[in-house]
């Protein structure tokens, strides 16, 4: 099955700096890579996703890059703000017909210091 590794487990940055979180995956059949943000006591919320036919995707201050050859993908947050503080999970999923089977990374606790 798929195995997703995520680093670092904790990350502290000063407000306004950039944050980068990295993930690697093992299953070459995986073709969908979402990132979820989870604030304490709340649901995981999809913040950005990328498919394997795309190398990079941006949405305002958030970007994701994918290197299929190396089987790794990264989340980049620029101009960080205190409200970006949360746990971030990467995930990977192969194409599986009518349902998606996501395998999550272990999570990164991001703290943005004011």
Interacting residues with another protein (CB under 8 A): 32, 34, 36, 42-46, 49, 51, 87, 89, 93, 97-107
Closest CB to another protein among residues 33, 74: 33
Closest CB to another protein among residues 19, 44: 44
User: Can you count the helices (H) and strands (E) in the chain?
Assistant: 0, 11
Confirm if 66 and 25 have CB atoms less than 8 A apart. no
Closest CB to another protein among residues 97, 114: 97
Confirm if 71 and 28 have CB atoms less than 8 A apart. yes
């Amino acid at each position: 099955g798929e195995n997703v590794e995520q680093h670092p487990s904790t990350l502290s940055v000063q407000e306004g700096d950039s944050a980068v979180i990295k993930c690697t995956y093992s299953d070459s059949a995986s073709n969908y890579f979402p990132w979820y943000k989870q604030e304490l006591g709340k649901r995981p919320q999809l913040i950005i996703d990328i498919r394997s036919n795309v190398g990079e995707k941006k949405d305002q201050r958030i970007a994701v890059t994918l290197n299929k050859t190396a089987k790794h993908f990264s989340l980049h947050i620029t101009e960080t703000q205190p409200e970006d503080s949360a746990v971030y999970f990467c995930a990977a999923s192969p194409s599986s017909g009518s349902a998606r089977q996501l395998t999550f990374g272990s999570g990164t606790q991001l703290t943005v210091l004011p």
